[in-house]
Structure 1
């Protein structure tokens, strides 16, 4: 496996840590700037909303630029964003600093997954893409405890410095060691937009958006929940988030194996399991020891949502992989925005303990959408990898590169 693929994985780790690392330090920021927790939640949801609205346009507009230098530009922008965030004198400046890199975020995701597949032979493409996705997955489960721990050890500003350093290292490595990636196959915008006619792709995208909304309605405020309901202090919350992340890495691996065997069954089992763990968190949230076990189980289940969303959202449109990937990023981040927004409303109106129920409702809706099919229904028991191989034989396009399994 070429080292450039691992460098792209490091870049993915950096940008996702910047996006989700805010979750663990949100209460500290709210207190520092004297804003409500739901207002502070816009540091996550505003970032995600910007991605949701601009993602596909950014990918289409930058389609002709050298892929190496586009990824370098994205990482450099994230370095600047973290520096500005660390020195922000007020909440407005912090909000602006957070939103600026969000415009380019989907470009890195789309370009890195496709570029990784092109760095190796076709048979090794799934492995290459899985390495990049591992950077994304690890960031979603470790980025939060890392930034939370640094904030507890020093202050919340130091958390942004750490995120900035990670992005700076990735930027330097990418600029120095990744070969130039000029665009040789120039695909017209019109030819890519043809995937927008696929009804099942839209069903899968909407289901992914609602699923991720259900995940983040509570997860965005997990630090607040553990503090107010489970009565944990800052150090204990950091440990819980680390436990959440550690079990999440194992869960991500298990979900990948399950998806390769049966995508639909895995999706439904995931949703039912996540609903169950939310109910457990509601019932036993006030008890320290039971909640510790629940957090570990929650993390194990939680992380699989990203792989499931990637698999279901992009598998329908291998003709335009970068656009398909950017649509998944947009809808996924729309889900983050929706979930964080709805969670904030519930917390403001009914208290943080009741936020669990909005997650359960959204997850139930997503579960119902797994029974909606547009056009000819595919065999859900067919492994994703074999579907991709079949398509590759017919069209010579490696769909498996974008399934994330």
Structure 2
């Protein structure tokens, strides 16, 4: 596989470590700046909100910039952001240092996913995107615990230094080992945004939102579930969350291979597998050993959801709109995660932690139902803007509305 793809995966690792690494040091930051923990939590919330709101716009504005240049620029901004965060004299300064790179966060994902898919070719596109997204999975398993450990070993500033160093290595790799990637003439805002007139795209994006809501309605409260239902100790919960993440890395890799074979069948099997895993967790959640096994399977299945969400949309998009569509996905990811967390919290508050499973299952089944929506045959397109699906093994869909 092209070395550029692995460098982009390292960049993804650095960016996600920067975004979520702050989670483990919120108590230290709360104490340092004399603020409440919920106020400190805005360092994460403001970052996510910025990503959700600005993604499509910043990607459109950078559409004509050389792809290597923009990826390198994003990583450079994340390096500077972490350095500034480490030297932050006040909470307001830290907030600004954290939010500024969030504007470019979706640009990296949109460009990296699109470039990886195009460089790998139609057959291996899902595996290439899976490699980039493995950076996300590994960051959640290793990046966040590493930054937390650095804070415990030294101080909270060390967490930002580590995240900055990771981004610096990715920056160097991008600058010295990735060839120039000029933008083709057909790329542009007008040709990209034309896809917004297709109902098919919006159904796919709705599927992403509902799918992520189903995933995170339960996953957001997994630690609480293991503590209250399975009666695991704090140490046991930590170990099981690590197991969840490690099996998730393997699951992400396997999902890339499966999606290369058939996108929609893999998507539907994924959703039904996650539903079955939730039902098993409900039935056997009170038993320690069975829950260890179930949680390993849950992690293996769950983590591939981000890749499934990406490919089940982009596999059917016109090539000239690929980066624009990829820029929309972080917004719908964040919206789905937020909705799932809120709905799961509502169920827990009113019916108890174990019943949160019955919020996740209907959402996942709804996403399963939406996956059967097909491209309307009445939609037409100019010949030069015909659909070019990412996955050659998938049936070619009907074109979407263009100009």
TM-score of Structure 1 vs Structure 2, range by shorter chain: 0.7 to 0.9
Partner of 2:369: 368
Query: What TM-score, normalized by structure 2, do the two folds share?
Result: 0.79
Judge conservation of contact 1:49–1:334 (CA < 8 Å) in 2.
no
Matched position secondary structure for 2:316? coil
| Structure 1 residues 72 and 239: alpha-carbon distance in aligned structure 2, compared to 1, 3 A threshold | same
Return closer, same or farther for 1:42/1:287 CA change in 2, 3 Å cut-off. farther
Aligned partners of 2:279 and 2:26: how far apart in 1? 24
Match in the other structure for 1:211: 211
Matched, 1:166 2:134: no
Larger displacement relative to structure 2 (201-210 or 216-225): 216-225
What is the number of equivalent residue pairs in this alignment?
A: 381
In the superposition, relative to structure 1, how do residues 387 and 128 fare at CA in structure 2: closer, same or farther (>3 Å)? Answer: closer
The SS at the match of 1:328 is helix
Shift of residue 71, structure 1, vs aligned partner: 1.0
Q: Distance in 2 between matches of 1:86 and 1:278?
A: 41
Alpha-carbon distance in structure 2 between the residues aligned to 1:105 and 1:341: 24
Higher mean C-alpha deviation, range 318-327 or range 276-285: 276-285
Distance 1:46-1:227 versus aligned 2 partners, 3 A rule: farther
Aligned equivalent of 2:37: 35
Q: Please, which moves more after superposition, 175-184 or 288-297?
A: 175-184
Shift of 1:168: 1.9
Q: 1:77 to 1:154 in 2, by over 3 A?
A: same
* Cα displacement string for residues 346-377 of structure 1 (whole angstroms, at most 9, x for unaligned residues): 55566655443332332232223223345149
Q: Distance in 2 between matches of 1:43 and 1:204?
A: 30
TM-score (norm. length: structure 1)? 0.79
Match of 1:337 in 2: 338
1:134 aligns with 2:134: no
Change (3 A) 1:133 1:259: closer
- In 1: Cα distance, 2:290 partner to 2:21 partner: 25
The Cα RMSD (Å) is 3.7
Shift of 1:68: 1.8
Q: Distance in 2 between matches of 1:115 and 1:151?
A: 32
Deviation for aligned residue 1:62: 0.6
Q: Distance in 1 between matches of 2:188 and 2:30?
A: 49
CA distance in 2, matches of 1:311, 1:207: 12
> Which residue in 2 is equivalent to 1:105?
105
SS in 2 for 1:65: coil
Deviation at 1:63, TM superposition (A): 1.1
CA contact (8 A) 2:112 2:132 kept: no
2:276 maps to 276
- Supply the distance in 2 between the matched residues of 1:218 and 1:141 (Cα, whole angstroms): 21
CA contact (8 A) 1:147 1:162 kept: no
- The aligned runs of 1:373-388 (5 Å cut-off) are 373-376=374-377, 384-387=391-394
Cα distance change, pair 265–92 in 1 and its aligned pair in 2 (3 A): farther
- Structure 2: state its 5+ residue gaps: 379-388
Q: Work out the CA distance in 2 between the residues paired with 1:2 and 1:365.
A: 37
Q: CA deviation at 1:212?
A: 0.9
1:183 match: secondary structure: coil
Question: Quick one: structure 1 residues 124 and 314, their matched pair in 2 at CA, closer, same or farther if it must change by over 3 Å?
Answer: closer
Segment drifting more, 96-105 vs 344-353: 344-353
Give the Cα–Cα distance (whole angstroms) in 1 for the partners of residues 117 and 193 of structure 2.
22
Alignment check: 8 A CA contact 1:52 1:331 kept: yes
Who is 2:148 aligned against?
151
Partner of 2:384: none
Find the counterpart in structure 1 of residue 73 from structure 2.
Answer: 73
The answer as to whether partners of 1:13 and 1:139 remain within 8 angstroms in 2 is: yes
8 Å Cα contact 1:67/1:183 also seen in 2: yes
Q: Does the 8 Å CA contact 1:15/1:105 hold for their aligned counterparts?
A: yes
Q: Higher mean Cα deviation, 206-215 or 164-173?
A: 164-173
Q: What runs of 5+ residues in structure 1 fail to find an aligned partner?
A: 395-405
| Structure 1 counterpart SS, 2:127 | helix
Are the counterparts in 2 of residues 213 and 340 from structure 1 also a CA contact under 8 Å? yes
